[in-house]
Structure 1
Amino acid sequence: METVRDILIQIKQFLEVPLVKLGSAPVTLWTIIQLVVLVGLLFYLSGKLRGWIVDQFLTRTRMELGARQATGSIIRYTIIAIGFIIILQTAGIDLTTLNVLAGAVGIGVGFGLQNIVNNLVCGILILFERPIKVGDRIVVGNVEGDVVHIGGRSTTVVTNDNITIIVPNSKFITENVVNWSHNERKVRFRIPVSVAYESDVQQVERLLLDVAAANPDVLEKPAPGVRLMEFGDNGLNFELRVWSTTLIHRRGLLTSNLNYAVYRAFVEHGIEIPFPRRDVRILREARQAEPFDGNGSS
């Protein structure tokens, strides 16, 4: 027992050796261990609290998932900020002595951490303004996919290929963002179709509307429409306009299904799909050659 007690006393003395001084308060190795453990617990418990708020508490309200995620994130960041100040005071660190450190950090932020702070501020703006939310279908730059998580520094987007892309939050503030489901998940699709000039335009319109009505992903209201857009070089250019809520994340699939159905309908009813044609006329002018007299004249 004496040996164990001596070892504990030595460990305690080692941990209480002052490393640096902040004002009148010494910072020991034990203080640093306390800070690390308490900050780790703060992040862990705040994350658990955020999950409980989003998945259980706010599910009793009519808030949608994106609003619940934003509310949970804001509450978590507030708790972390307040908790960090309390932890510093609990560890015996006088916050007034950190003014110089804060000034140094400010200089570092101005030079080396500018992008990180920019993304953090943009993340807060996204959470408050909510131009995007979890579950939205978005396009920003060359990235298209579903928003699955909005963090303080970045937003996670999953593409149709099941590839996760981490997008800095500043992209959503400084660049144009296409949000396919910002107001509601109802989007109009435009399917261009060309037919030969000899085609019956009323029959073409009827066939296109029949194709749209037979597709289960096309909404009945608003009703599909057909427009004769222009008289093209090779044929009549129509446009089939349909509305959908189920395939806004797979627009290529809906377009492909409708194109397949349109092609089958046109083949069955003898509607010709035009292709570029050019008439080439070769004009030959018969010329009778005069004899050459050897003096350079004819």
Structure 2
Amino acid sequence: MTEAEILDFLQKIWVEISQNAQKIEIYVQILAVILGYGLARVVQFRIKSALSGLEDKFTYPLIARTVPVLVSVSLPATWLAIQFAVLAIIRGLGHPSYILSITCSLLSAWVIIHIFTRLMQNSAWARLVALCVWSITALNILGLLSPTLAFLDSLAFTFGETEISMLKIAKGIVAAIIVFWITLGLSKFAEGRIQKSKALTPSVQVLLAKLVRVGLIAAAILIVLSNSGINITAFAVFSGALGVGIGFGLQKVVSNLISGVILLLDRSIKPGDVIEVGQTYGRVHSMGARYASVITRDATEYLIPNEDLITQHVVNWSYTSHNIRLKCPIGVSYNSDIPAVIKLTEETAVTIPRVLSNPAPRCLMRGFGDSSIDLELRFWITDPENGCANVTSEVLVAIWKAYKEAGVEIPFPQRDVRVEMISSDQSSTEN
């Protein structure tokens, strides 16, 4: 629009306002807006108290976050409902309703923006939604929404057999924001419900959560593309090239994805298991699409690719049971009473809190060493995720104290050195 057209448009608006200001209907509508606000303030307190009572009854995070939003938006929502009712009555009687229409448009924008900005955690997306809603509202009030939509629809280009316009792109962006926001919220809600289900194993929970997330995202993409006016069947042309690209360029990625699905299906490794892969020993914290997170005893988190968990040698300390047996080699003096030492060792080991009494610790004689009689203590624990070396250390320290109090000697290697003196006669003969 040129400067002259803009001035002419503003002048027409001013003339219309001046003419309408002299009509009684304008003041009636303004009075209806003021009375509607007063009535909304009165009704708001009852609605607010009712919603506040529901806040403590729901434990789901999404619902728990929604109730405070409804409480905060109760005033404009109630005001909007009252104004819509008044607007319907006035239009039914055939009277002008321009002021009421503007009020309803502004209140609708207020409610929508308030709800989205409170529920959206990303402030950038919230600001974008607010900008879009206020822009549409302003264009609608000024009567420029239809011309603007027609103008955007005229800005089009052809991609193959599909015609894409700026209006379709704008609709696609708005639809993508709303659909993906709803999709991610539903995905988090579904994952929370699946993780709370005690009837499912941890691996099945992870698998179902990932399938739900992938399915919702795929559905969201299809909804956005179809809403943008893009023919989805056109993407079938690129399926062959995409398959070749995946086969060559994304070999490792696809391998890790498939390996992750296999691990979740056969349940060989699941969250909470204690595993050992190469030099890494720790507890499986989580299983992702490409890797498994393993946290060691020193709080170091290793991201192990799923492919390595299938192709490499993996020790799962808690595959069928969390009970594992540990071994401690012990050496005592040849002067010791071996049956009494064996009994003392077993009784001392069972005093450690983490050592199980059933199966009971067993101490066996393994052989006759160079400097000691070799014993081996075998005991069971049920919590390998809390570490194995630390409980072994506790057992050995307790045994050392018990041996010291009982007078049992723990020998150390000894060597005898013999020095032979050579006589002078023998030395001269050899020379």
- TM-score, normalising length: structure 1: 0.84
Is the Cα contact below 8 Å between 2:363 and 2:375 reproduced in 1? Answer: yes
* CA-CA distance at 1:254 after TM superposition: 0.7
* Correspondent of 2:307 among 162, 170, 175: 170
Aligned to 2:247: 110
Query: Given the superposition, is the C-alpha separation of residues 45 and 17 from structure 1 closer, same or farther in structure 2, using an over 3 Å criterion?
Result: farther
- 1:140 is displaced (CA, Å) by 1.5
- Counterpart Cα distance in 2 of 1:231 and 1:193: 12
Aligned match for 2:189, one of 41, 48, 51? 48
1:30 aligns with 2:167: no
Question: Which residue of structure 2 lines up, in the alignment, with residue 264 of structure 1?
Answer: 401
1:144-172, Cα deviation, whole Å (9 max, x unpaired): 22112112122122222223222221121
Q: Distance in 2 between matches of 1:117 and 1:261?
A: 51
Distance 1:188 1:16 in 2: 76
8 Å contact kept, 1:211–1:261: yes
User: Aligned partners of 1:73 and 1:221: how far apart in 2?
Assistant: 40
CA distance in 1, matches of 2:409, 2:165: 85
The answer for unaligned runs of 5 or more in structure 2 is: 1-5, 11-137
Q: Offset of 1:92 from its aligned partner?
A: 3.1
Tell me whether 1:21 sits opposite 2:159 in the alignment: yes
Contact 1:145–1:158 at 8 Å: present in 2 too? Answer: yes
**Aligned match of 1:232:** 369
> How many residues were matched structurally?
288
Cα distance change on mapping 1:22 and 1:154 into 2, 3 Å: farther
SS in 1 for 2:213: helix
Give the gaps of 5 or more residues in structure 1: 292-297
What amino acid maps onto 1:139 in structure 2?
E
1:278-293 matches, cutoff 5 A:
278-288=415-425
Aligned residue type for 2:382: T
Post-superposition offset of 1:11: 7.8
Residue in structure 2 matching 1:197, options 334, 341, 344 = 334
Greater strand content = 1
Q: CA separation of 1:290/1:114 partners in 2, compared to 1, >3 Å: closer, same or farther?
A: closer
Partner Cα distance (1:212, 1:46) in 2: 49
Q: Distance in 2 between matches of 1:256 and 1:17?
A: 76
Instruction: State the secondary structure of the residue aligned to 1:170.
Output: helix
Secondary structure of the residue aligned to 1:199 is coil
Query: Hey, which of these two has a bigger chunk of helix by percent?
Result: 2
Does 1:251 pair with 2:392? no
- AA of the residue aligned to 1:227: L
1:50 Cα offset (Å): 1.6
Task: Determine the structure 1 residue equivalent to 2:100.
Answer: none
Shift in Å, 1:66 = 4.2
2:212 matched to 1:72?
no
Over residues 227-259 of structure 1, what are the superposed CA-to-partner deviations in whole Å (9 max), with x where a residue is unaligned?
A: 111222221111111111135531111101100
Partner amino acid, structure 1, of 2:173: I
In structure 2, the CA distance between the partners of 1:282 and 1:100, relative to structure 1 (3 Å rule), is farther
From the CA coordinates, give the structure whose radius of gyration is larger.
2
Q: Is the 8 A contact 2:157 2:163 kept in 1?
A: no
- What is the one-letter code of the residue matched to 2:186? L
Partner in structure 1 of residue 343 of structure 2: 206
The structural deviation recorded for 1:108 is 2.3
Higher relative contact order structure (alpha carbons within 8 Å, sequence separation ≥ 6): 1
Counterpart of 2:324 in structure 1 is: 187
Counterpart CA distance in 2 for 1:27 and 1:171 is 48
Question: Deviations for 1:84-138, whole angstroms, at most 9, x for unmatched residues?
Answer: 4454344433333213322332232223221111111111111111111111111
Equivalent-residue separation in structure 2 for 1:98 and 1:184 (angstroms): 49
**SS at structure 1 position matched to 2:304:** strand
Q: 1:36 to 1:119 in 2, by over 3 A?
A: farther
Farther-moved stretch of structure 1 (78-87 vs 171-180): 78-87
Counterpart AA for 2:254:
V
- Distance change >3 Å, CA 115–CA 250, structure 1 → 2: same
Check if 1:127 corresponds to 2:127: no
Query: Could you tell me how far 1:226 is from its partner in structure 2?
Result: 1.1
CA contact (8 A) 1:158 1:165 kept: yes
Q: Aligned letter for 1:102?
A: S
Aligned equivalents of 1:69, 1:101: Cα separation in 2: 31
Kept in 2, the 8 Å contact 1:19–1:26? The answer is: yes
What residue is the counterpart of 2:287 in the other structure? 150
Indicate conservation of the 8 Å contact 1:74/1:127, yes or no.
no
Q: Is the 8 A contact 2:274 2:317 kept in 1?
A: yes
Q: Deviations over 1:252-292 (max 9, x none)?
A: 1110110001111111112111212111112222233659x
Give the whole-Å Cα distance in 2 for the aligned partners of 1:267 and 1:277.
20
Q: Which residue of 1 aligns with 2:110?
A: none
Aligned residues with identical type, % of pairs? 32
Contact 1:160-1:250 at 8 Å conserved across structures: yes
Give the aligned residue type for 1:42: T
